[in-house]
Amino acid sequence: MSASAFFASTSSAQDRLEQDIKDTFYNAIADYVLSQDELSEENLPVKLQEAIAHTILTILSASDSFAGGIRLPTGRNITSANCPEKYSSFFTTLMELKSRHGLTEEQFMPLTGEILKLESFQELNPTQFIRQALGWAASTPYYEQDGVTADLIRTTFYNEMVTQTREAIHKGWLSIEDLQNQECHIYCALPALTIAASIQSSQGCMGLRLLDNKILNKDNCPAEANLNELVDPVLAIQANITAFSEEQFHEVKHRLAKNINLSDTPTIAETTLDTHELRESFAIINLTAESISQRHVFHQMVMNVIARVLEIDDPTPTPSPSM
């Protein structure tokens, strides 16, 4: 066998294993939830946790005789040597759970929250499919992964920042004077609003929506200009915000624009998520925005956005040049 044939064969085996892992967990969890009686949007998070606990414990039980890893119902084995990199942290978690013999579903339930937060579990989470199957959400449109460029990312974020800045002004969260005086908090608030809006518009997507019907994820993020320093934290935040309502996003964006810490007010718009999760996401968006604003390329983008918004919305007439 030639070297090229060997690598092609290995790649094909990895692809099949990746698909087996996704099919096994995604389908089993979805089937379990959809088989339950009296499902509602309110009890879906609990039903999902029950399904994750049941599915994982069933697979771990079937893997008892295989000391070196996890055995899937298809008969395929996952080991530390062949586990696809994208699922490595999930595999490590499964092996840790496997070592804790005799876990019941009731004992396992508190652990499902941590599994849901794993980045490597996001592709295995069928929540959006379940909501679509039950008619609670519209079908997710198809977005292209090819053709994502650094310029497209910058253009998308620039346009979104202009939109969010103008919206914040119209809602009274920011003022024209804030922009004219280039108040310090503006340089953090505008990127923060843009991050929150980008995540909101990308709910249900495996990545961040861009212009031209493209989707941005870790696999297709261009290596140039260290864009992963912007994209990776935003994708991580997106993974933790899977079911925020429009009202919650409105509340978070309001506070990001006004630089009001969520901990300053104990009551937030009613939510099915716990307050800690919402506050944690708010804090991470703020920290990420602060970090982004200190980089020259994004600092310049904020300045360009300020200039553009003032050009559109500043009611002060520009003085005519003297003759």
Cβ atoms 186, 302 nearer than 8 A: yes
Residue 171 contacts residue 243 (beta carbons within 8 Å): no
Last residue of a domain, one of 102, 133, 164: 133
- Return the number of other C-beta atoms located less than 10 Å from residue 239's C-beta: 17
Q: Is the same domain home to 173 and 284?
A: yes
Task: State the pLDDT at residue 69.
Answer: 95
Q: Could you write out the DSSP letters of every residue in 42-78?
A: TTHHHHHHHHHHHHHHHHHHHTTT-TTEEE-TTS-EE
Claim to verify: residue 209 and residue 80 sit in the same structural domain? no
176, 298: one domain: yes
Asked if residue 6 belongs to a domain, the reply is no
Question: Do 72 and 199 fall into the same domain?
Answer: no
Residues 214 and 277 in one domain: yes
For residues 164 and 249, membership in a common domain is answered with yes
The answer to whether residue 143 sits within a structural domain is: no
User: pTM of this prediction?
Assistant: 0.57
Establish if 138 belongs to a structural domain: no
Whether 319 maps to a domain, the answer reads no
Q: What distance in Å separates the CA atoms of residue 137 and residue 114, rounded to the nearest whole number?
A: 25
Distance of CA 214 to the CA centre of its chain: 16
Same domain, 93 and 177: no
Q: Which residues pair with 214 in a beta bridge?
A: 144, 210
C-alpha 35/C-alpha 97 separation (Å) is 26
Residues 63 and 196 in one domain: no
Q: In the chain, which residues have pLDDT < 50?
A: 1-10, 262-274, 318-323
pLDDT at residue 140, as a whole number? 61
Looking at the fold, whether 34 and 128 belong to one and the same domain comes out as yes
- Predicted pLDDT at 322: 45
- Whole-number Å distance between alpha carbons of 153 and 231: 9
Range of the domain at 122: 12-133
Position 317 scores a pLDDT of 54
Residue 319's pLDDT is 46
Same domain, 28 and 94: yes
Q: Are residues 181 and 217 in the same domain?
A: yes
pLDDT digits (tens, 9 = 90+) for 230-265: 788 888 888 777 667 777 788 888 888 887 654 444
Number of domains in the chain: 2
| Helix boundaries (H) for the chain | 3-34, 44-62, 88-98, 105-108, 112-117, 127-133, 150-170, 176-180, 186-201, 228-240, 246-258, 275-293, 296-313
Instruction: Please check whether residues 187 and 75 belong to one and the same domain.
Output: no
In a domain, 98, yes or no: yes
